[in-house]
Chains A and B, each alone.
Chain A
Amino acid sequence: DTGVSQDPRHKITKRGQNVTFRCDPISEHNRLYWYRQTLGQGPEFLTYFQNEAQLEKSRLLSDRFSAERPKGSFSTLEIQRTEQGDSAMYLCASSSSGKETQYFGPGTRLLVL
């Protein structure tokens, strides 16, 4: 069990640029979640996949955010036209159907200058 992995671990970008993050879940997990976390807060839900289907998106997720999981394995989260308010830790988690516990990756820390 290699756990959930995320890449890159850190990203610094200029306002207005696009960024893309990758998440590789635990291999036997069919559910994948993206969260955002800022300092002093708990993780905030962004979106959720079961296999390749995106089943739920937070109403807080602006049109600049898009996520994909094309083959039901790894997932990407893209942020277009980044803003300084997008600076945060982006976390990915995975779980199996019928088992509620989510396991988190190490996160990608984004800084928008």
Chain B
Amino acid sequence: EDQVTQSPEALRLQEGESSSLNCSYTVSGLRGLFWYRQDPGKGPEFLFTLYSAGEEKEKERLKATLTKKESFLHITAPKPEDSATYLCAVQAGSGGSYIPTFGRGTSLIVHP
């Protein structure tokens, strides 16, 4: 069974204090790993898709990296508007299922 574990559950940062969120996964053949941002009361907003170990993607202050066992979402010099829950999901490559398994998310609060 596919498993996704995100850590920490919650993270408080000061504005400008860089940090990383972790997503550890167990899946039989990775088809894709996804990062989403979710604001309270809203649907998840797509950030990145990573497909293979060693791949990196960047968007503004966010950078996602992928290894064979985990992914990191690095946040550089965060701002209060980066406060949100960040969700990680993995999609298995075997069996043809397109259904991703989500982690519980990391709740990030950035203080001004």
Which A residues are within 8 Å of any B CB, using their own CB?
4, 6, 31, 33, 40-45, 48, 56, 89, 91, 95, 100-107, 109
Contacts and interface: CB of A to CB of B under 8 A. Distances in A.
A104 B99 contact: no
Contacts of A95: 98
A33 B104 contact: no
Nearest to B105: A42
A102 B31 CA distance: 13
A107 B43 CA distance: 6
Interface of B: 4, 31-32, 34, 36, 41-46, 49, 87, 89, 91, 97-100, 102-105
B87 A48 contact: no
Judged by DSSP, the binding face of A is strand
21 contacts: A4-B43, A6-B43, A31-B98, A40-B104, A42-B87, A42-B104, A43-B44, A43-B87, A44-B102, A48-B98, A56-B97, A56-B99, A89-B41, A95-B98, A100-B32, A100-B98, A101-B32, A104-B36, A104-B43, A104-B45, A107-B42
A42 B89 CA distance: 9
A103 B100 CA distance: 12
A94 B105 CA distance: 21
A44 B45 CA distance: 16
B31 to A, nearest CB: 6
Contact of B43 (A40, A42, A56, A105): A105
Interface centre among A31, A56, A100 (most CB of B within 10 A): A100
Given A48-B99, A56-B99, A100-B91, A106 B104 contact: no
Contact of A91 (B44, B46, B99): B44
